[in-house]
Amino acid sequence: MKPVKREEMGQVVGRILRETPITDVHTHIYPAAFGDLLLWGVDELITYHYLIAETFRYEERPYEQYFALPKRRQADLIWKTLFTDRSPLSEAQRGVLTVMNKLGQDVRTRDLSAIRQFCDSKGVDEYIDIVFKTAGVKEVVMTNDIFNPQEFAVWSKEPKLDPRFKAVLRIDPLLSLDPTAISLLQKTGYAADAELGGDSVSEIRRFLKDWMLKMDALYVAASLPPTFRVPEESLRSRVVEECVLPVCRELNRPFAMMIGVTKRVNPPLGDAGDAVAKADIGTVTYLCQKYPANKFLVTMLALENQHELAVTARKFRNLMVFGCWWFLNNPSIIDRMTRMRLELLGLSFIPQHSDARVLDQLIYKWDHSRRLIGGILAEKYLDVMETGWEFTEEEIRKDMADLFSNNFWRFLERK
């Protein structure tokens, strides 16, 4: 194939990226079989916890008064506060409008009735198809928290999974040996206790292995606080080294660590009440170094951790850096992180995940990221072309497939 001309690079990369089917490696969405665990439609989109936090920057009423409202009234309040009463300039506000626009709504009306009618007219299966097609997403990885009774009940019925949805075993409550986690293990025949006494270590390993295989979980995941340390004199550190890593090694599946979240700094805000602090890169280094036969998918929440995480990935091939997580999923930061990662890691990382909690968000999170990351990639190709090097469309297409799908599956040694 003939090389891409300099003056066409931006347009070629943009087109190829739009045509590149996405593997979204971390989301909170579910297939229809999971019932109302799947959030979808414009009222869920508007009441996303990012927008709740942004609304309470202006709203004086008590938090509980908002949460006591019916969902549609909550959405009306957020729409008025963040879209009618002032310009919607935040990334989450822009995202709502991107979704509406891509779903054919004329946002100039500034009116929710038409988009509500559109959503109300669709069944969930049809809506899933519409969103996946509009977003250009081929498959998503879920966050399956079996310690949530609602989700446990679904898995107990052995649901037939829509192949576009891949499972993951999320173990936050187990890592903290939370009473709900211990009670679930005990109630389902695993003799573990909260002090790791008796056969707890082997029983937690058995639980992890049984559930990884039952769900065909692609990886084990946990979100972790900035204080997360291994090794340390703590039960959490022991569960990681004595339970999680041996099972992940045996099954050849990664442990995904999402590090740096300070949970519920403002508890009444619920999911909107979490924040961020700088975490310890030394723990990532220790784990990658001591456990070369384990694979680690890692994303960190603090901007201050990003450079050291990318440098650490240069040192350890069993470390795969992924995404611009949560408070980093904003254009100004995605730009800086992606440039740095390309400059330090070449194409050996996973640039983005959506973290979508509402199905519709796949549309805006990937539209915004494709545009931004595509522009950066085009610049990088042009920088290299200054040397006389040339690129074909075929080579660029392969690069995009690696960044947005194959790097993940190759790291898992699946597909």
As given in the structure block, the two tokens for residue 203 are 């029983």
174 within 8 A of 181, measured Cβ to Cβ? yes
Alpha carbons 25 and 229: distance in angstroms, whole number: 25
Interface stretch with Zn ion, choices 111-119, 353-361, 372-380, 390-398 (CB under 5 A) = 353-361
Q: Which residues, listed in sequence order, are joined to residue 320 by a DSSP beta bridge?
A: 297
As given in the structure block, the two tokens for residue 351 are 């640039």
As given in the structure block, the two tokens for residue 286 are 């220790």
Alpha carbons 278 and 303: distance in angstroms, whole number: 8
As given in the structure block, the two tokens for residue 120 are 């109300």
Q: Which amino acid does the sequence have at 153?
A: A
Alpha carbons 377 and 397: distance in angstroms, whole number: 12
171 within 8 A of 215, measured Cβ to Cβ? no
CB of 195 to ligand FIX, least distance (A): 26
> How wide is the angle at C-alpha 174 spanned by C-alphas 169 and 175, nearest 5°?
100
Alpha carbons 120 and 354: distance in angstroms, whole number: 24
| Binding-site partner at residue 299 among Zn ion, ligand FIX, none, CB < 5 to 8 Å by type | none
| Binding-site partner at residue 63 among ligand FIX, Zn ion, none, CB < 5 to 8 Å by type | none
Residue 172 binding Zn ion, by CB under 5 A: no
As given in the structure block, the two tokens for residue 68 are 């006591």
Kindly tell me which of 16 and 337 has the beta carbon lying closer to Zn ion: 337
CB of 143 to ligand FIX, least distance (A): 6
Residue 355 binding Zn ion, by CB under 5 A: yes
Of 151, 104, 91, residue with least CA distance to 131: 104
CB of 318 to ligand FIX, least distance (A): 22
Interface stretch with Zn ion, choices 17-25, 82-90, 269-277, 351-359 (CB under 5 A) = 351-359
Give the CA-trace dihedral at 187, 188, 190, 191, to 10 degrees: 20
Q: Which residues, listed in sequence order, are joined to residue 222 by a DSSP beta bridge?
A: 257
CB of 263 to ligand FIX, least distance (A): 8
Kindly tell me which of 44 and 355 has the beta carbon lying closer to Zn ion: 355
CB of 65 to Zn ion, least distance (A): 28
Kindly tell me which of 274 and 402 has the beta carbon lying closer to Zn ion: 274
CB of 5 to Zn ion, least distance (A): 40
Alpha carbons 215 and 157: distance in angstroms, whole number: 12
Kindly tell me which of 105 and 352 has the beta carbon lying closer to ligand FIX: 352
| Binding-site partner at residue 326 among ligand FIX, Zn ion, none, CB < 5 to 8 Å by type | ligand FIX
| Binding-site partner at residue 223 among ligand FIX, Zn ion, none, CB < 5 to 8 Å by type | ligand FIX
Residue 274 binding Zn ion, by CB under 5 A: no
CB of 363 to ligand FIX, least distance (A): 16
Kindly tell me which of 20 and 361 has the beta carbon lying closer to ligand FIX: 361
Q: Tell me which residues touch ligand FIX (CB under 6 A).
A: 28, 143, 223, 258, 271, 326, 355, 357
- Interface with Zn ion by CB under 5 A: which residues? 355
